[in-house]
Structure 1
């Protein structure tokens, strides 16, 4: 682990001493330690609560496998973008920011705005040690607002859910099953449309991935191949990546 320099130069554009500061590596360990601890806590809680909702251990294991497979695509995307952020933020800062927020677009956009506000270009001219420190502080404050909104909004949403459950059981159950599905559909539709707007190449990748996923689900239902329900998304992501490489090689924008 690199040693912390005895004296930093706020006006220096040499970021090597500050981006690899031990204190930043300590934050990496802390952040990923919290993530691992949360995962263990959630897993234990699910195992304990499963019998109360009629879930067997096999169903719990299946659910976790499905979640793990579903996370492959988003994780690969974040990991690839994290590699590009390392050139601007350094390894520890990139790991911390992606580990906490996970939105590369938010991180890059926020960093660019913060750097431009100080008359510097992100990763370019005027990007000094002091600008780098200010960028990290700005991103941290912005991330704090996200967490505060979650803390404030979650109880309000829970009250709304309780009111729905307090009404007619049948209608409440129907509403509670529709709302999460509609939210997920809207979120993924928004992400899909953002990709489609990039051009023909991105549109072909989205269409191919969607078609592969639809075929996988059809096969799973038609031939009772339940494993495809878990692995369908992973297969679609891999095929989508292959198609993206081929399209890029063909020069389709």
Structure 2
């Protein structure tokens, strides 16, 4: 009897068990609340733009044209985010994906934060050890990171602006090199951590890197700048295709 109770109380590693927590009504309410705030902000900004337009010499036709141009220009980046979000629905659940990926849009940060947070719980995203506890830790880490971004924008931007002007006088490239180096180191650590697992992991990593590099190079061609936004989604899809082909060829880990 004690064994049965202990087994029933232990968290299940079944992905469906995780999704039952990831899709709870509370998270749906929070997600819809966040999007409601964004809609209200957008309405306020559009109203402010209409009021300010006459003072800068913009006609109503020009203002409407700018709104349409912005809406059309947002389609490409939005579809790129959708491609990534679809691949993460099974891991994060719909509410978390809508808020973290669909709203914030920084899939690089979200996936890195999720992997690191799950690792602290001894779990691997999508693996047998990925349970409700790992999901809660991961979601808290992602949300806390996003909240810090917003707070830093609100509080630290004026202070950093003053410091940036001073540092730019000393070395203008410093403010660009340091953040880029930190991100590069973080993602290289995550990527190369997959290499020892199997040949499929190596092929997937190499294929994704080649595709992403090709997209970034082609984005420099006139008229191909949209690849900067679509590159990540394309790399993920072709990486998954490479993983499927490699696994079908029997290059996966032996049982």
TM-score class, shorter-chain normalisation, is 0.5 to 0.7
Report the counterpart of residue 66 of structure 1 in structure 2: 69
Contact 1:31-1:99 at 8 Å conserved across structures: no
The number of residues matched between the two structures is 193
Report the counterpart of residue 221 of structure 2 in structure 1: 211
Report the counterpart of residue 122 of structure 1 in structure 2: 125
Contact 1:98-1:104 at 8 Å conserved across structures: yes
- Equivalent runs, 1:134-173 vs 2, <5 Å: 134-156=137-159
Name the CA distance, whole Å, in 2 between partners of 1:104 and 1:98: 6
Name the CA distance, whole Å, in 2 between partners of 1:117 and 1:89: 17
| TM norm structure 1 | 0.63
Which sections of structure 1, spanning at least 5 residues, go unmatched?
Answer: 1-7, 164-178, 215-232
RMSD: 3.8
Name the CA distance, whole Å, in 2 between partners of 1:139 and 1:199: 25
- Equivalent runs, 1:92-103 vs 2, <5 Å: 92-103=95-106
Report the counterpart of residue 48 of structure 1 in structure 2: 51
- Equivalent runs, 1:158-237 vs 2, <5 Å: 201-213=211-223, 236=226
Report the counterpart of residue 12 of structure 2 in structure 1: 12
1:81 to 80, 84, 87: 84
Q: Which moved more, 1:56-65 or 1:197-206?
A: 197-206
Name the CA distance, whole Å, in 2 between partners of 1:141 and 1:131: 15
| TM norm structure 2 | 0.63
CA displacement 1:100-146 (0-9 Å, x = unmatched):
42111111110000000111111212111111111111111111111
Q: Which moved more, 1:199-208 or 1:146-155?
A: 199-208
